[in-house]
Amino acid sequence: MSRKSGQNIWIGSTCPIRQVLDRFGDKWSILIVELLSHEGKLRFSEIAHTIGDISQKMLTVTLRSLESDGLVIRQFFPEIPPRVEYELSELGKSLVPHIQQLSAWGQTHMDTILENRKRFEEKQQKQGKTAY
């Protein structure tokens, strides 16, 4: 990343990396984007059922955040009972290949990461320290 007008872009709330990591550093956003990329339009209950261990409140908060960033489109149908569907926007779809690359990297390197964690913990135990 380059500096503009001598400003340090890494500092403060305007840092693009901080902004993106703030959105996707949570437990659920990437899972929801990935799910919608595979399934297309889904109702709230379908998302909740597929993910399984997400609370209704957290799913609501996460979907609203993704919608506020323009990554997810929420469509309300005034029926009885009311129906709401969620799908990825074009911006959200443009994120999918990056998430898939990150997922592939994780799958490729997971065994090595787990081995490194185990070695680190063993080293810490030998030194009489806790891992974190």
* Domain harbouring 41, CATH code: 1.10.10.10
Query: Residue 42's closest CA among 77, 88, 93, 86?
Result: 86
Structural domain harbouring 33: 16-92
Quote the pLDDT of residue 1. Answer: 45
Question: Per the domain annotation, does 115 fall within a domain?
Answer: no
Measured on CA atoms in the order 55, 56, 57, 63, is the torsion positive or negative? positive
Biggest CA pair distance of the chain: 64
Q: What is the mean pLDDT of each run of 10 residues along the chain (132 residues)?
A: 55 75 84 95 96 95 95 94 94 94 92 95 84 54
Question: Residue 86: inside a domain, yes or no?
Answer: yes
Specify which residues 88 forms β-bridges with: 72
Cα angle 61, 49, 110 (rounded to 5 degrees) comes to 85
- Which amino acid, one-letter code, is at 82? P
Q: Is residue 8 part of a domain?
A: no
